[in-house]
């Protein structure tokens, strides 16, 4: 109920709220399957060098949303890579995917300032060391990447900031380079971290969806992320 109340406070459109309610209903009947899949991935992570695991909770949702493209060739971009958790999932579950990882690895200013960011980048490099031929690392701010990029992508994952202004920028720029029928995944939809609701990622995402109205389909609204497809 708390999350539904939050969605209403930030003027979330009814289609998104409906999708979130549907998600919770279906998830209730898929608890065991979900848990088993997530645990399998967490077992894989035991041999990796991670400070935090914020991603494994999302893996079952990614599997369901991207079911139609498993084992196909696709170009993937993620804005925000941290220690490489999400990248490792894609590299392992989608063996033909080509990855592009963008992160400045600058010290946090929007939460988690206590992390040693140099060590975070080092862990990213170590965790992805065995996949060198399948990914490109861009150590830069997202705005720099978007200005220099000339490619388009099938899947884009936006997880680079917790501040609404930056989230809006990353979503807008990602949409420009997302291919038709491509999937945009936006993280931190329920990041309730600021007194001013307009600073939260979800507020920016809702405003972004208003801008691209009628250009997208809502695929899934989970407890952490929102998945849309470009028409």
Ordered by start, the domain boundaries in the chain are: 2-230
Residues with Cβ within 8 Å of 109's Cβ and at least 6 positions away in sequence, in order, are none
pLDDT tens for each residue of 96-135: 999 999 999 986 655 556 678 889 999 999 999 999 899 9
| Strands in the chain per DSSP E | 75-79, 98-102, 135-138, 153-158, 178-186, 216-221, 226-230
Please determine, for residue 70, whether its predicted confidence score (pLDDT) is greater than 90.
no
Please determine, for residue 68, whether its predicted confidence score (pLDDT) is greater than 90.
no
Please determine, for residue 142, whether its predicted confidence score (pLDDT) is greater than 70.
yes
- To the nearest 5 percent, what fractions of the chain are helix, strand and coil? 50, 15, 35
pTM of model > 0.75:
yes
- Domain 2-230: CATH architecture, name and number where available: 3-Layer(aba) Sandwich (3.40)
Dihedral angle computed from the Cα positions of residues 74, 80, 86 and 88, in that order, rounded to the nearest 10 degrees? 80
Whole-angstrom CA distances from 22 to 8, 58, 63, 126 are 16, 17, 17, 39
pLDDT tens for each residue of 213-229: 999 999 999 999 999 99
Report which of 113, 31, 122, 32 is spatially closest to residue 84, judged by C-alpha positions: 122
**Checking DSSP bridges between strand 226-230 and strand 178-186, what pairing results, if any?**
antiparallel
pLDDT at 229: 97
Q: What is the mean pLDDT of the chain?
A: 93
Please determine, for residue 154, whether its predicted confidence score (pLDDT) is greater than 90.
yes
pLDDT tens for each residue of 160-196: 999 999 999 999 999 999 999 999 999 999 988 788 9
Give the Cα separation of 54 and 57 in Å (integer).
7
Report which of 47, 188, 53, 51 is spatially closest to residue 118, judged by C-alpha positions: 51
């Amino acid at each position: 109920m708390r999350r539904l109340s939050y969605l209403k406070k930030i003027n979330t459109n009814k289609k998104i709220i409906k999708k979130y309610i549907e998600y919770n209903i279906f998830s209730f009947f898929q608890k065991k399957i979900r848990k088993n899949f997530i645990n399998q991935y967490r077992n894989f992570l035991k041999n990796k060098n991670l400070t935090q695991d914020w991603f494994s909770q999302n893996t079952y949702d990614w599997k369901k949303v991207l079911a139609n493209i498993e084992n196909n060739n696709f170009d993937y971009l993620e804005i925000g890579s941290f220690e490489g958790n999400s990248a490792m999932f894609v590299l392992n579950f989608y063996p033909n995917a080509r990855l592009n990882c963008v992160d400045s690895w600058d010290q946090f200013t929007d939460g988690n300032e206590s992390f040693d960011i140099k060590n975070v980048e080092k862990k990213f490099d170590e965790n992805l060391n065995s996949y060198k031929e399948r990914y490109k690392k861009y150590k830069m701010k997202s705005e720099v990447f978007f200005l220099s990029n000339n490619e388009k992508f099938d899947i884009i994952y936006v997880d680079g900031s917790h501040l609404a202004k930056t989230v809006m920028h990353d979503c807008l720029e990602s949409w420009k380079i997302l291919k038709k029928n491509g999937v945009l995944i936006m993280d931190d939809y329920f990041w309730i971290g600021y007194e001013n609701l307009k600073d939260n990622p979800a507020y920016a995402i809702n405003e972004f969806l208003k801008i691209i109205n009628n250009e997208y389909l809502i695929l899934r609204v989970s407890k952490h992320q929102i998945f849309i497809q470009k028409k």
